[in-house]
Amino acid sequence: MVYGVTFEKLGQIYHLEFDGEIKINQKVVAESDFGIEIGNVVKIFKEETAEKKILRIATYEDIENDLANQKDAKAAFEIGKEKVVEHALPMKMLYARYTLDKTKLIYFFSADGRIDFRALVKDLAATFKTRIELRQIGVRDVAKIVGGIGMCGMQTCCSRFERDFKSITLKYAKTQQLLINPSKISGVCGRLLCCLAYENDNYLEILKGIPDTGDTAKFGDKIYTVSEVNIFSKTIKLRNNEEELKMTFDDFLNGKGEKICDLKPPEETELHDLEN
């Protein structure tokens, strides 16, 4: 049987194999990207390929050790923050965690650029007598850890339920005819809102077969320029030297309307991914 296991709240789901029955929310011991850790079973897959195997169902002793490790990691985190100040490094410590056997202590931090933290690692290794790993994470992951309130007035999706960050581009905002104002379409992390992806497929379905504003379209036996597309009222305006037509999407499609060509210059159609 293949189980979905995560090693942190809203973290990546690993597909792990185990010869036995495990229930949802049951604790297990398995290998993560950092080493042997206690994970939580969040899914059961019937037909999936496994990356690795679950070592065992977590025992009472495993869970007690993990709780003790969490307490020690909090203390190590505070010391780590002090060490960063001592070494005058332009980085912000976010949290720390031990592997189950305490053979590794992992620090997660954020910074604007690359940091030479070799001296810090040596100092931390000498302090804790274990292997030290520093992992730099991006602004979206920082927002997920720190949390916050979105412009909708609710807790941010990334800290509430979103596990995987999707690639969000300006094309999503343009498809939904949102005002391209960074302060209106960016989240607390400064990147484009994750929620722009939630309804995008519905918008694309509504706009299927509908040309964009500025395109050349044929309707009946005449050629027009598309002067306006309103996805909310589901109407389209066509204009040429003789007339201007306004109709619903259904009327346009049922009248065999079709896009002829895209007259917009390449720089307007090439939308760059602002995720990173």
What are the domain boundaries of the chain?
2-58, 63-137, 143-204, 207-268
- Residue 153 and residue 148: Cα distance in Å, rounded? 10
> Cβ(194)–Cβ(186) under 8 Å?
no
**pLDDT per residue as tens digits for the range 252-274:** 999 888 888 654 444 433 334 44
Kindly state the helix (H) or strand (E) to which residue 64 belongs, with its residue range.
Answer: helix 60-86
For position 190, what pLDDT does the model report? 87
Tell me the sheet residues that pair with 136.
109
Radius of gyration of the chain from Cα atoms? 26
pLDDT by residue for the chain (276 residues), tens only, comes to 899 999 988 888 999 999 889 999 999 999 998 999 999 999 999 877 887 899 999 999 999 999 999 999 999 999 999 999 999 999 999 999 999 999 999 999 999 989 999 999 999 999 999 999 999 998 888 888 888 888 888 898 888 888 788 888 999 999 998 888 888 899 888 889 999 999 999 999 999 999 999 999 999 889 999 999 999 999 999 999 999 999 999 999 998 888 886 544 444 333 344 444
- Residue 261 and residue 216: Cα distance in Å, rounded? 5
Please report the beta strands in the chain, taking only residues with DSSP state E, as ranges in sequence order: 2-6, 14-17, 27-31, 36-45, 52-57, 92-98, 104-110, 131-136, 216-219, 222-230, 235-239, 244-248, 258-261
Tell me the sheet residues that pair with 93.
109
> Cβ(63)–Cβ(22) under 8 Å?
no
For position 268, what pLDDT does the model report? 39
Token representation of residue 179: 């005002």
Backbone phi, psi, residue 15, to 5°: -95, 110
CATH number of 63-137: 3.30.300.20
Residues ≥6 apart with Cβ < 8 Å to 142: 94, 110, 189
For position 188, what pLDDT does the model report? 87
Task: State the pTM of this model.
Answer: 0.76
CATH number of 207-268: 2.30.30
For position 200, what pLDDT does the model report? 92
Residues ≥6 apart with Cβ < 8 Å to 270: none
Closest alpha carbon to 7 in 79, 93, 70: 70
Helices 118-128 and 60-86, interaxial angle, to 10°? 130
For position 111, what pLDDT does the model report? 93
For position 261, what pLDDT does the model report? 64
For position 262, what pLDDT does the model report? 54
